[in-house]
Amino acid sequence: MTVFNLGSINADHFYRLPHLPAPGETLAAQDYAIGLGGKGANQSVALARAGAEVRHVGAIGEDGRWMVDRMTAAGVDCRHVAELPGASGHAIIEVETSGENLIIVYPGANRAISPGQALFALNTARAGDWLVMQNETSAQVEAAQAARAAGMTVVYSAAPFDAGSVRAVIDHISLLIVNEIEAAQLCADFGVTLQELPVARLVVTLGARGATWYDLAAGTQVSAPAFHVAPVDTTGAGDTFAGYLVAGLAEGLPSADAMRLASAAAALKVTRAGTADAIPARAEVEAFLKVQPSE
């Protein structure tokens, strides 16, 4: 199976701080670094490092060629990444000593992806392939419609959360991934309980408490506890989880096994500073799982 990812590509500017600033407070950063990020790029790198064949559909500005080079080096097929006028997307990421973060994102070229570009990329897809999306690009509705019509499995990470964006694509989604705050917001917007959301499968991530898989059509659920690690930087943990989850499902793992694999990958990620560059390889994740107690 090939996984197509209509996703953002950002330059992540990291500032390590003694604590996150309060309104009006000025802080001197203890450290600074720049790296590859964006929810889309993070998920593509996670997919590739998990062993999936992944084709990224996205856009950069002229300042973003180094990001494409880094994604390619990680094993991501970037033939469908366009270079457009203007700036690439970028993020300002403030990380405090506990590992918690505060992020400001400028979308840049990510919001200039045309429906035509997305549909051209999906013309090469086959029934049974996967489409992954997040809410950081344009052309989501057109891509989701085309993918579902082509017999693809459509996965949507509803972040940054916007209820209207979810509503626009939910009829075409095979699997929806949200955190518990986003799940509550979505239920409130639809006026339903979690089990009544109009999607076949749902994953709710719970931070340090793990994640839960809901098969809403069958009325079943699977819980995946989080692994206990000392966090260094939580940035990109959710994207690592999502990428590994989809890679596991695409290769045919049962949902419980794919969730455990994804939880282990996310646990390893938070022990490292950075985003895409800090996502672990499949061999590292499997080695980590071997020393974990059986459930």
CA 144, 252, 58: angle at the middle one, nearest 5? 35
With a CB cutoff of 8 Å and minimum separation 6, the contacts of 143 are 6, 57, 115, 118, 119, 122, 131, 133
Q: Which of 162, 239, 257, 277 is the catalytic position?
A: 239
**Tokens coding 245:** 């989850």
What does the domain layout of the chain look like in residue ranges? 2-9+38-89+108-288
Cα–Cα dist 87/180, whole Å:
33
**Residue 208, annotated ligand binder?**
yes
**Residue 11, annotated ligand binder?**
yes
Nearest to 108 by CA among 134, 138, 86, 141: 86
Residue type, 68: V
- With beta carbons less than 8 A apart as the criterion, state whether 259 and 214 touch: no
- With beta carbons less than 8 A apart as the criterion, state whether 239 and 39 touch: yes
Q: How far is CA 25 from CA 19, 20, 39, 96, 275, in A?
A: 11, 9, 28, 14, 26
**Residue 239, annotated ligand binder?**
yes
Helix (H, G, I), strand (E, B) or coil at 190: helix
Assign domain 2-9+38-89+108-288 to its CATH architecture: 3-Layer(aba) Sandwich (3.40)
**Residue 135, annotated ligand binder?**
no
Cα–Cα dist 74/81, whole Å:
15
Per-residue pLDDT of the chain (295 residues; tens, 9 = 90+): 999 999 999 999 999 999 999 999 999 999 999 999 999 999 999 999 999 999 999 999 999 999 999 999 999 999 999 999 999 999 998 989 887 888 888 999 999 999 999 999 999 999 999 999 999 999 999 999 999 999 999 999 999 999 999 999 999 999 999 999 999 999 999 999 999 999 999 999 998 899 999 999 899 999 999 999 999 888 899 999 999 999 999 999 999 999 999 999 999 999 998 889 999 999 999 999 999 875 5
- With beta carbons less than 8 A apart as the criterion, state whether 156 and 173 touch: yes
Mark out the alpha helices in the chain (DSSP H runs): 39-49, 65-73, 115-122, 140-149, 163-169, 180-190, 237-250, 255-269, 282-290
**Residue 209, annotated ligand binder?**
yes
DSSP 174: S
The pTM assigned to this predicted structure is 0.93
**Residue 290, annotated ligand binder?**
no
- The answer to whether 69 is a known catalytic residue is no
Count CA atoms within 13 Å of residue 93 on its CB side.
26
**Residue 41, annotated ligand binder?**
yes
